[in-house]
Structure 1
Amino acid sequence: MNHLRFIKQALCLLFLFFIFAGVAAAQSAERKLGELPLVEISSGVSLHIVSPEPISKVDVSSPAIAGDLLEKNVLRLKLIPDSAHLLLRQASSTVVLTIIGETFIAQYQLCFVPPGLEGIPALVNILPEHCQPLEVSGVGLSTPMMKSHAIQLLAKRRSVPIRKAEAYGLEARLNQVYTVGDYIFLDISFENSTALKYSIDELRFKIEDRKIVKATNAQSIEIEPIWQLYQSHNFKRNYRNIFVLKKLTFPENKVLNIELTEKQVSGRTVVLKVRYGDLLKADTF
């Protein structure tokens, strides 16, 4: 009997342990106002928040603060003139700033301080410890992940390009093709053998007929890259970049034309033709 009583008591204690452990876990999942990182804001000083990835949504719990995106990952906040009294009326003079990126959510306390004080921040970086992972439907690779893969591609270099084309002293090369899930990474480079600097107007990706019999029958579907490692400007000798496309398919009688055009009226143009088989032979990370 004593043995059975001991077993029952042990089971009850174990049951209570799991209950309290669950409650503690639920409590630790909460983020209270006092636990949020504190950021000061003042009138006359714009506060810039830098995110590690593009910002998709922002919420500020006060009409006294206005915000806008200077870049995809740079949020600017500033106090609306003559609205400091709205913040002072709020409890503890704080408001909550919520920032949602591609894969995270971060929250801060914004505390109003009188103007003229030293040490008021003008720029704040969103740190990993400020972020809580967020599963957003429709988001495959985040921007930091794409950048990481692109840097890996830059460290590699094929001795023989997959495809190349020449025109007007320019040579275009498709160096590598890699895939990650539903994403295609294209490593493309251009070499200018002329003495004239090349000012890039556009770099376009178009699915077109391999052989065009009549111009009136030609069909063209433009593909917009979802991300690229560097912004395109101009180059004197060499230009190399990584472009990311969403997974695409096209029949064998069509090709993916990568067309580089110059800004001048009679600018130089070079077209690199990529076959569907080149994409099918892509390596994976």
Structure 2
Amino acid sequence: MTAFRRIVAGALLAATIFLLFLTLKNPIGIKNNLYGIAREVMKKSLELQTFNWFAIEGAGFRVKYQPVDASVARLVLETAEAAYEPVNQMLGYAPDENVPIYIYPTKETLNKSFKWDGAVNAMGVYWAGAIRILSPLEWITDEENLTPVFQENGPIVHEYAHLLVDYRTHGNYPRWLTEGIAQYVEREVTGFVLPEETILGNYWYSLESMDDKFDLLPNQNLAYRQSLLVIDYLVEQKGFDVVLELLDLLAQGKNISDALEGTVGQNLQSFEASFRQWAAGQQ
């Protein structure tokens, strides 16, 4: 370990001990601070792993890239900057510092950064305080329209919405909620929406299975579609403000069932039954 890395590790350890000392009498504070510390450690770790990458910085974001993506780094930054205020306003939150975005030149390098196998196909991923995206040069074949295609169909707005949900709730949210919110925000800001999934026989996944087992569900299109529909249902019933109120209760440490009880007057089971009844009429 280099002297620099030892200094960073020591500083992080000291910060951890200090925050634990400050929050001993506040269990929710302990949980929130520990999550924030873990997220910060992983974010700094990625920064160290990419110390030799090039970087450009703007209003709200810092884009890191390798030489092969120099021609699109500015496009990524400007796309993110254009999304900054609209997404912040929708979700009622703004980061305290510039958000790191990492451009990976190939699917293989992006997957390798997460230790995923080659079968995973992702254009963008939010994880631990940072956004990682696949280079637009890798998936956009229409070179003449690369800029508008990336701005309208790229992953920036979606992943940035995930980041804001994560920070606003201190990581306390179910997967279906953040996926639904990210798609809702993306549709409002860019107009992009995933192709609608045909629902056969009014079949839906349980919301419980759409939390920690989300990525294992056999029909991923249905899982994403259902996540968006849940948010549409909430907004139709109570307006988008109820989504923000839900995030506030989650930030206080409440579980999703109690948070729903506090916002829409239904626990998770009752809410899910009402959603299914509503969704049956949407087909």
TM-score of the two chains, using structure 1 as the length reference: 0.23
Larger radius of gyration: 1
Greater share of strand: 1
Greater share of helix: 2
